[in-house]
Structure 1
Amino acid sequence: MSKVTATRARPLSPHLTVYRWPITMTMSILHRVTGGALYFGTLLVAWWLVAAAASESYFEFVNSIFGSWIGRLILFGYTWALVHHLLGGVRHLVWDTGAGLEKHTASRIASATVAGSVVLTALIWFAGYAARGF
């Protein structure tokens, strides 16, 4: 009897282009990413505070960096990460009570977290510009 050498077509495991990530999984990953980003952002806040304590010229230097377009973009991202992580923490706190664990409810809360973080970040920055008179 001869040995069969034909290769059988094996099914492929789901790939990123085939498998659609649920919003709850995406939010879990994003919660961890924003937590990591907050470490970096907190170093920037500490740098700003050290500059304020060091000297006026050094503070003006650091303030000019944060006031540039790239600095403001980084601060905007830090604000969003902070708000998003905060709302994600509230979401987890709600889940810890046993509420909102049904699939459709968890997905709605996850979507509300994204929308809420974007809206609150925009409101924070708008309020900041409005307080300075644009």
Structure 2
Amino acid sequence: MAQTSNAGRPLSPHLQIYRGGLTMAMSIVHRATGIALYAGTLLLVWWLTAAATSEAYFDTVQRVFGSWIGQLVLFGFTWSLIHHTAGGIRHLIWDTGRGFDLPTVELGARITLASSIVITIALWAIAYGVM
């Protein structure tokens, strides 16, 4: 059982009593996007290595990235990059000592999520429009 203060509240947020919310989910997603960016960077290295190796190997890698699953992975990588960047900007604002009141924290989480989705879709729409 958790230790309690004189007011009957727990001294620390234990999983049995802590109610998760959007900000907790965004913290987890920020870490997950960091891991996804690491994997995506390995794909970028694979693509660059193929470009430096031979035309046939590069064409093979291009076919993989051009497939529906490859496009889905690249879309996820794009969203991870944009979402992680937006979260980083939010953390940068916090580093200035601003935005710590709960309504602002919640608003920042919503803006980060919404902007990452909108920017990713817009970026892909522009890319397909150019192609």
**CA offsets per residue over residues 44-89 of structure 1, 9 Å max, x none?**
0110000001000000000000000000000000000000000000
How far apart, in 2, do the equivalents of 1:117 and 1:64 lie? 27
Aligned to 2:11: none
Structure 2 residue identity aligned to 1:75: L
- % identical aligned pairs: 54
> In structure 2, what is the equivalent of residue 46 of structure 1?
45
Superposition deviation, residue 31 in structure 1:
0.4
| Aligned equivalent of 1:112 | 111
Task: Report matched runs for 1:60-75 at 5 Å.
Answer: 60-75=59-74
Could you give the per-residue CA deviations for residues 30-51 of structure 1, whole angstroms, max 9, x where no partner exists? 1001001100000001100000
Residue of structure 2 in register with 1:27 after alignment: 26
Equivalent residues in 2 for 1:1-134, closer than 5 Å: 13-14=16-17, 20-132=19-131
* Larger Rg, first or second structure (1 or 2): 1
Q: Distance in 2 between matches of 1:87 and 1:38?
A: 14
User: What is the alpha-carbon distance in structure 1 between the residues aligned to residue 119 and residue 112 of structure 2?
Assistant: 10
Partner of 1:46, secondary structure, is helix
> Which amino acid in 2 is paired with 1:95?
W
For structure 1, the 5+ residue unaligned runs are 1-12
User: For 2:20 and 2:118, how far apart are their aligned partners in 1?
Assistant: 24
The residue aligned with 1:3 is none
Q: How does the TM-score come out when normalised to structure 1? A: 0.84
RMSD: 1.3
Q: Distance in 2 between matches of 1:24 and 1:101?
A: 12
State the alpha-carbon separation in 2 of the partners of residues 38 and 117 from structure 1.
Answer: 15
d(CA) in 1 for partners of 2:81 and 2:68? 20
1-side partners of 2:53 and 2:127: how far apart?
25
Q: TM-score, normalised by structure 2?
A: 0.86
Q: Which has the higher contact order (CA 8 A, sep 6+)?
A: 1
